Chain A
């Protein structure tokens, strides 16, 4: 297996020869937001990197506002410069009480001024926990005199990036086609990229349509799952099922044997097969017959012998909607 990987302590983007792109989200520290973005930039500037894959990986694992902010930055939208590089340099040297000649020797060792400036400040006792978007908002309010505390309180790993953003020396821009490809990949891999994130809600649903022959390499067929509204199955999610090999084969066999109609590769099937699905949240969606959409739905298991009447009702889902004002 060949692996191309571009990574850092908190961000690993790797592509295997099977083409699967795996990302991960570490638990806990939100100080990570800036570190993760710094690691993304490091990965994107590494020769030979699949930049769309790295960005897609970031988008699937970064918290939502960070993804939008990252795309804006990488599309060429830049924050306003808060201080000239020379001004910031003299402030940091003053704060550290290091002589100019020692800084010059240090910069020579790193090969990068922003990196040298970011690393000669002592690590903070408790790093900032602001997200990328919050940091940029904070940055926009600062002056050359008030910039230093933000840099001092930022984790050392993220300081070079922050210094580049603050001094107008952040210059990485990705071509639109790379960003589009990354977005498309990110949208297509929620189930693969977030395996260890437990869904916040589960319920049971019945299958009404299924793909008869999933494309090669797919983890399972795409299914349309429904909930009961009186005795009518109302579709609530179309998603690709990831099932163990034996179950996937058994399900495909069942679908082919029980198809009641066909629409290209998709078969209509009787609403008798029950699945447990997980999802993170429900939002209103007027364009859907059900009136709602699931966030990050995934198939958790198939229950071939369950009674379809035990599947959930649509009101079980609408009960989860946030209260409307």
Chain B
């Protein structure tokens, strides 16, 4: 038993000295525990990867031939002097919070998380702990999400309005996570077409058994004439490339938590506020639910959020 912190921040990222592993490291390391498959968390070049079994297929799809092992949610594994386990974070399919325990002292690293169940990702489950390292991407009180059903209804109305005018709808979203949440959550208005980058990940998740609707990969012979009234789900970067030109006339929309802000909506097409991160009430509820006395904030307005938590009676700070 030692008083050294269970996890510390190093140049390569968050490190556990007694287990000799990193969590979502930024630089190549010998052993990495990965919360989920987004590229800012699952990077290339590590010697060995450990993630949830549910996250494995996407990790392999994105990173190619890697040395990787999977754990079921809640399954424990002893690494050096500590015990680790993965718990649902509700962020994207397969995403996890990581619990690290040493002699009864428990730290939880939230990774990215959201508290509203989206019908696709394994729903967020609070994990009792002493120290909670929480993301706070949307850690300001202006971020208060509407229920998913309402946002989906708004998107469907935009899609239907376009379809009635013979306009193709192009909805931009991250290829992994948001894209699948949208296709699974939207009511059927017309055919759903996908950019190849989206379809590739979707097929990986479909093969795993996630309940995803039928979608059609856009190939050169797929046009507004062959698929009138279609919705195309594509990553945001393709709009600048001219990829979408052949679907004209079209209307574009963005779905993101940042669409809360008028300044972020400016100059875009239609904008819908839909996030895979916790909103202000969600962050506060999640922190309470862990029972943690110590909270470290990362990703976002960390100093502001830590000050707020301090005023709420937590031993809070910025992860650094």
Contact = CB atoms under 8 A, between A and B. Distances in A.
B161 A26 contact: yes
A309 interface: no
A212 to B, nearest CB: 29
B248 A123 contact: no
Interface stretch (B61-69, B70-78, B113-121, B136-144): B136-144
B272 interface: yes
B142 A109 contact: yes
Contacts of A105: 140, 301, 304
Q: How many interface residues does chain A have, given as a range?
A: 35 or more
Interface stretch (B97-105, B171-179, B197-205, B255-263): B255-263
A3 B250 CA distance: 9
Contacts of A169: none
Interface string B228-271: 00000000000000000100111110000000111101111111
Contacts of B263: 110-112
A102 B141 contact: yes
A112 B157 contact: no
Given A9-B158, A42-B262, A196-B164, A3 B141 contact: no
B181 to A, nearest CB: 17
B15 to A, nearest CB: 30
A265 B300 CA distance: 66
B286 to A, nearest CB: 17
Interface string B158-193: 100110110100000000000000000000000000
Given A119-B142, A122-B144, A195 B154 contact: no
Contact of B165 (A22, A46, A123): A22
B221 interface: no
A275 B140 CA distance: 60
Contacts of B311: 99
B161 A24 contact: yes
A176 B112 CA distance: 51
Contacts of B158: 9, 12, 26
A249 interface: no
B261 A14 contact: no
B226 interface: no
Contact of B144 (A9, A12, A111, A123): A123
A237 B40 CA distance: 63
Interface in A4-40: 5, 7-10, 12, 14, 16, 22, 24-28
Contacts of B265: 8, 42
B262 A160 contact: yes
Chain A interface main SS type: mixed
Nearest to A157: B273
Contacts of B165: 22, 24, 195-196
B308 interface: yes
Interface in B142-160: 142-144, 146, 154-155, 157-158
Contacts of B251: 5, 7, 12, 14
A16 B249 contact: yes
Contacts of A10: 154, 157
A116 interface: yes
B61 to A, nearest CB: 32
A14 B161 CA distance: 13
Interface centre among B142, B162, B308 (most CB of A within 10 A): B142
B229 to A, nearest CB: 12
Contacts of B167: 22
Interface string A105-124: 11001111001100110110
A76 B33 CA distance: 60
A306 interface: no
A96 interface: yes
Contacts of B272: 9
Contacts of B308: 102
Given A9-B154, A115-B262, A123-B146, A109 B140 contact: yes
A3 B269 CA distance: 10
A70 to B, nearest CB: 19
Interface string B272-296: 1000000001000000000000000
B1 to A, nearest CB: 39
A1 B301 contact: no
A98 interface: yes
Interface in A142-158: 156
A36 B307 CA distance: 37
A127 to B, nearest CB: 10
A60 B141 CA distance: 37
B164 A195 contact: yes
A217 B261 CA distance: 39
Interface in A75-100: 96, 98-99
Interface centre among B158, B252, B262, B268 (most CB of A within 10 A): B262
Contact of B157 (A3, A5, A27): A27
B300 to A, nearest CB: 10
Interface of B: 140-144, 146, 154-155, 157-158, 161-162, 164-165, 167, 245, 248-252, 260-263, 265-272, 281, 301, 304, 307-308, 311
15 contacts: A7-B268, A7-B270, A12-B161, A12-B251, A12-B269, A12-B270, A22-B167, A27-B157, A28-B157, A102-B141, A105-B140, A110-B263, A119-B141, A122-B281, A195-B164
Given A9-B158, A26-B161, A119-B260, 16 more contacts: A7-B251, A7-B268, A9-B154, A9-B271, A12-B161, A12-B251, A12-B269, A14-B251, A24-B165, A42-B262, A46-B267, A101-B307, A102-B140, A105-B301, A109-B142, A112-B262
